[in-house]
A and B are shown apart, each in its own frame.
Chain A
Amino acid sequence: MSWGTKIVASVALMLLAALIALIFEGADRVIQARIQRRLGPPLSQPFYDLVKLFAKESLLPSDALPWLFSGGPVFAAASALTIFLYIPIGSLPPVLAGGGDFLLALFLMFLSSFALILGALAGASPYGEIDAKKELDLIASCSVPLSVIASSLAWFAYRQGLPGAPFSLETFVAKPVWSVAGWSGIMGLIILAAAFLSLIPALADRVQRNIFGGSSRHFSGRTLLLSRLARNFRTLAFCSVFVSLFFPGSMGRFLDLRELALFSVDFLFFWVKVFLVQTVAVTWGGAFLGRFKNSRLSSFYGVAVTGVALAGLLLLFLDARL
């Protein structure tokens, strides 16, 4: 692929991902409203919000560091969107195939979170300081189980001889990891998938923690719009990575399709899977789980989810040994 094609494909994919993120956000709100026996907003509400916030003035606090306060949300949204360039969408290879792996995707996700935290901190508000501390607390507690999951999967892929680089998402898409696991391996993979699923709301900033509004309350107008978009893009990116790692199955091959039909069906099937994952991890979780205390949330991810991830690793280890 030439550089020109790569740039065009990258822009097209990022625009498509942004569109899908907004549609999924609308669907998420509609489903949550139905669960809560409310009428709820229409599916197109995120688009109305986008237009409204885009037209509004962005207020800059007097003591703020302007470039960081305004640039943080931009950087957060951009880095979250960049993740899609490294994810294989259905049967299509990543736009930047070979340019990055699972670890780079995780790095970009953390970068997106940190950019938003830095933006909130640059507002020079004491509330921003508190919110930033909470965010950092949560990200730190989530990073431990996430690294256990990532290294477990990579080690298992390498050990079982999956073709390709162990940390590459293409490796997991080319041959599903389930196909090389025995019974204890399958159990281990289920546990790791559950642990990863539980991490999605926290890392995508979709878990309810603060009645005051969280870090996005410091922004207004376009910066608020971008901070919200960054959150939506991160959610979609996490769900996409989850699908690539654990459910890379191809519907096109199952239906014995060829070329364009195969790519089209798998492309659509991929987004359906992402939607289902988002519905389970974010929508249902948001509807039925309450607002957490920050300390309890950190200990939940830092201790309980890490423990579960280690149990998954142990089962994978047993499977590889046996």
Chain B
Amino acid sequence: MDVLTLPLNPSGSLEPLAITVSLDGDRIVDARIRHGALHRGIEEMALHWNLFQVLPLAERICGFCSLSNALTFARAVETIAGIVVPPRARYLRTLFLELERISSHFLWLATACHIAGHEALMMAVLSLRERVLDMLEGLTGKRSNCGVAAFGGTRVNLDDADIKALEEMIAFYRRELPPLQEVLVEGPLLRFRLQGVGVLPKEVAVRHGVVGPVARASGLYVDLRWSSPYEAYGDFDVQPRQVSDLMGRSRGDAFDRMVLRIMELRQSLEIIETLLQGIPGGNVLAVKKDRRLAALLRDAEGRALVSVEGPRGESLQRVTLCRGKIALSSWTLRSATYVNASSWPLLLRGEELSDVALIINSTDPCIACTERLFPLRPSPVPEMAPLRLSSAEDGEAAKEVAP
């Protein structure tokens, strides 16, 4: 067998990744992925800043999971400091997480159409995405990096006009999604190109520990919103979506990943609709005065491991605070892509060279989020700091685990 090994430079997958493939003809026999092209030293920067400055920094790790990252960080700090988030703020956080999921899934769909060569479809999907971006802009003043998260609540509140606008947005998507689904799922255009490409069987998905839509498309029943509900998710029936419910069976290929994301778009609309009907009144901040909040954070000490189901899957952060300063002792982030990336060589093996971008994109990679797991220096972790795990119910006292 005459094997040719060649690097596909970062542009090869539309992501800043170094992929080296070994080819037999046009067929990939092996693939290696090397990270590190997008490491920006955010963690190092965060160690020199105070917590109020780190929160927007967490939001800027990535433009498309900005709220997930910021909220995970805020929840970790709240867990350590024992801050209980008011019910209205929990609902608002849930609302914005779902709006972010809609925006992210639409963007993924557009990218998938672009890689599959369907530019007209890509533009149609992007024009649909505009509505949710306009909504975010109307509610927060920004289309991405919306600055919603705050320690102990949200920076944004809703009035009746906002709720009406959200209902109109839901009605718009209920009208526009079925024709899009008909073209993308039932039509031959993408089915022809995506079916049978990058198959990830259920048992392999379990072995590699993949998360998020990639895991669910392979038939795994995993979703943090369902298994360990946070914010207001415990108040709704959020079942993980399964491709087999719509298509009759799931193969775990790139097409199934697309179908699942379309199903999740509909699920997000359902969640927002239910949420708007039962949104409680009251404050959106647990601690209104900054000085009091600063005092609370200064007294906080401990470690917390918190995760949120972002658009790409589980976004996990470990935060350590030590008493006496409003700053981090250490901060570790693990994005969904970091976990899912372990399956890429396996997905690529046996496929054609022209499918590399399609397959890697089908897992919705976010390299900006992924390349955060490189500790630059040993962090000064307090000796006897208790490890706190995020609780199933927000506001409940966090479980303490002996270090």
Which residues of A are at the interface with B, using a C-beta cutoff of 8 A? 32, 35-38, 126-127, 129-130, 133-134, 208-212, 287-295
Contact = CB atoms under 8 A, between A and B. Distances in A.
Given A126-B6, A134-B26, A293-B354, A35 B120 contact: yes
Given A290-B193, A293-B193, A130 B23 contact: yes
Contacts of A212: 8, 11-12
15 contacts: A32-B119, A36-B120, A36-B122, A37-B124, A212-B12, A287-B119, A287-B120, A288-B118, A288-B120, A290-B117, A291-B115, A291-B116, A293-B354, A293-B355, A294-B354
A56 to B, nearest CB: 19
Given A287-B119, A287-B120, A37 B193 contact: no
Interface residues of B, number: 28
B131 to A, nearest CB: 15
Interface SS of chain B: helix, strand, loop or mixed? helix
Contacts of B14: 211
Interface in B83-127: 115-120, 122-124, 127
Contacts of B192: 290
B81 interface: no
The 7 closest A-B pairs by CB, nearest first: A291-B117, A290-B117, A208-B117, A36-B123, A36-B120, A290-B116, A37-B123
A32 to B, nearest CB: 7
Interface in B190-207: 190, 192-193
Given A290-B189, A295-B26, A210 B119 contact: no
B361 to A, nearest CB: 10
Given A133-B26, A291-B115, A295-B352, 12 more contacts: A36-B122, A36-B123, A126-B6, A127-B6, A130-B26, A130-B353, A211-B14, A212-B8, A288-B189, A290-B189, A291-B117, A292-B117
B50 to A, nearest CB: 44
B4 A126 contact: yes
B6 A211 contact: no
Contacts of A209: 354
B25 interface: yes
B357 interface: yes
A318 B14 CA distance: 53
A126 B5 CA distance: 9
A36 B121 CA distance: 7
A128 B11 CA distance: 17
A292 B357 CA distance: 13
A210 B354 contact: yes
Contacts of B355: 293
A293 B357 CA distance: 12
B194 to A, nearest CB: 10
Contact of B25 (A32, A133, A290, A293): A133
Nearest to A134: B26
Contact of A289 (B12, B115, B117): B117
B355 to A, nearest CB: 7
A291 B355 CA distance: 10
Contact of B193 (A32, A134, A291): A291
Contacts of A127: 6
Contacts of B11: 212
A294 B26 contact: yes
A201 B12 CA distance: 24
A290 B183 CA distance: 13
Contacts of A38: 123
Interface in B1-54: 4, 6, 8, 11-12, 14, 23, 25-26
Contacts of A36: 119-120, 122-123
A309 to B, nearest CB: 22
A289 B189 CA distance: 7
Contacts of B25: 133
Contacts of B6: 126-127, 130
Contacts of B127: 37
B332 to A, nearest CB: 34
Interface in B160-199: 189-190, 192-193
Contacts of A130: 4, 6, 23, 26, 353
A133 to B, nearest CB: 7
Nearest to A210: B354
B126 to A, nearest CB: 9
